[in-house]
Amino acid sequence: MFFWYKFLSYLFYPASYFFLFLRKLKKKEHKNRYSEKIAKIKIKRENGFLIWIHVASVGEAMSILPLVERLESDKKVNTILITSITLSSGQILEKKYTDSKKIIHQFLPLDIPFFVNKFLNHWSPNLSIFIDSEIWPNLIYGIKKRNIPLLLINGRISKKTFRKWSFFKSFAQEIFGKFDLCIASNKESENYLKSLGVNNIKNFGNLKFTKSEFNFENNLDKNLSENLKNRKVWCAASTHPSEELFCAKTHLKLKKSYKNILTILIPRHINRIKKIIDELSFLNLKISLYSDIKNLDNDVDIILVNSYGEALKFYKISNYVFLGKSTIKSLVNDSGQNPLEPSMAGCKIFHGPYVSNFNDEYKYLNSLGVTKKVYNSDELEKSLIQEFEMNNNKDIHVVEKIKKYGETILNNVIEEIKIYTKN
């Protein structure tokens, strides 16, 4: 099977340049750095021990920040190379580590042998770490060919993903068997990884329970913060198609009880902004784009967030968050968004019935009383009214419990990594 994968990747090689160029024109790639995906590397590889960590997108990028902080303080580690795929993750990591002397961000090259070899030959990592569910066969083969230790950390395999790999079980066992260690994020993933041929598996819990001490640009503008003090505020984050309408209808119902209600809409994909505005136009709500706000008008109903990495700013000033990708039945096998960031900000979390991707996380948070399932906009409205009437503040004790739980997970992961940095 790997032979055919490799063969097809060779066939794609001539078209890859045009493919990336088109994505650049569509503003889906970094205008100045997209060539990194064809392994054009301008940064010198310094001497010493280099740990390479790969993440896919924003969520994974944010989850590794505490891990990177701990590794950065390790004197045995000279360089930490972080690679990612998506434009948004690249922007966040680039901004975060601009002034770091030890940490470098690069975009991962396409999984084509020529680019893979060029990338690995240049960086020659001493340890490679993949986060979450990133599997690139050519890259994995290239790593093991060079006898570089390969770890999968916070490994997450959904039911949907497992079904796909099951169609190519021998290939899956060949690929996953090349990992020296897999640290699963939950029990379900642990079981799936065993079925896929991983030999060395550990499960400490989801690394996303850990919280970074870095607090970069996660505060709202002072004028906006002051404006919001006089409003009843709630957030709807990581929303998917149909869920913005779900939340807007909830807003209309809440408005009957609270004339000063304000809804913060944070869609999962900001390229849908225009579609969202069009979809909500018939409701006669005043919608303001977050990027356009200087002073918030009192009659604004919804702030529509149109840039990435802003959610935490609003979690800080709101006690209540609805998390999306949880009301859409068609996504039942791949549903839910990570509830850990708003929970660590002390927010009460509301969600729909479909959260299969994060069952363990929701189970733990539910035991702390910080999550509630709602089936429709009526239930969400009633739940929010109940919370508004109780006028509860953020529960600091719950936040501390989550933080301690996360620290235990992080310590266990670090101890496993140290085994490979000692060699």
Out of 29, 36, 60, 134, pick the active-site residue.
60
For residues 224 and 232, give the distance between their C-alpha atoms in angstroms, rounded to a whole number.
14
**β 320-323/371-373 pair status:** unpaired
Please report which residue ranges of 220-358 form alpha helices under DSSP H: 222-228, 243-255, 273-280, 311-317, 340-344
Angle ∠(151,188,185) on CA atoms, nearest 5: 40
Q: How far is 412 from 185, CA to CA, in rounded Å?
A: 12
Total count of residues recorded for the chain: 423
* C-alpha span between 42 and 107 (Å, rounded): 12
Look up residue 303 and give its two tokens.
Answer: 């702030």
Quote the CA–CA distance of 93 and 82 in Å, as a whole number. Answer: 8
CA distance 267 to 198: 36
155's enclosing H/E stretch is: strand 150-155
In angstroms, the CA 203 to CA 182 distance is: 8
Q: Please say if 60 is a catalytic residue.
A: yes
Sheet holding 371-373, edge to edge: 287-289, 302-304, 261-267, 232-239, 320-323, 348-351, 371-373
Contact call for residues 148 and 127 (beta carbons, < 8 A): yes
Secondary structure element (H or E) that encloses residue 267, with its range: strand 261-267
The residues annotated as belonging to the active site are: 60
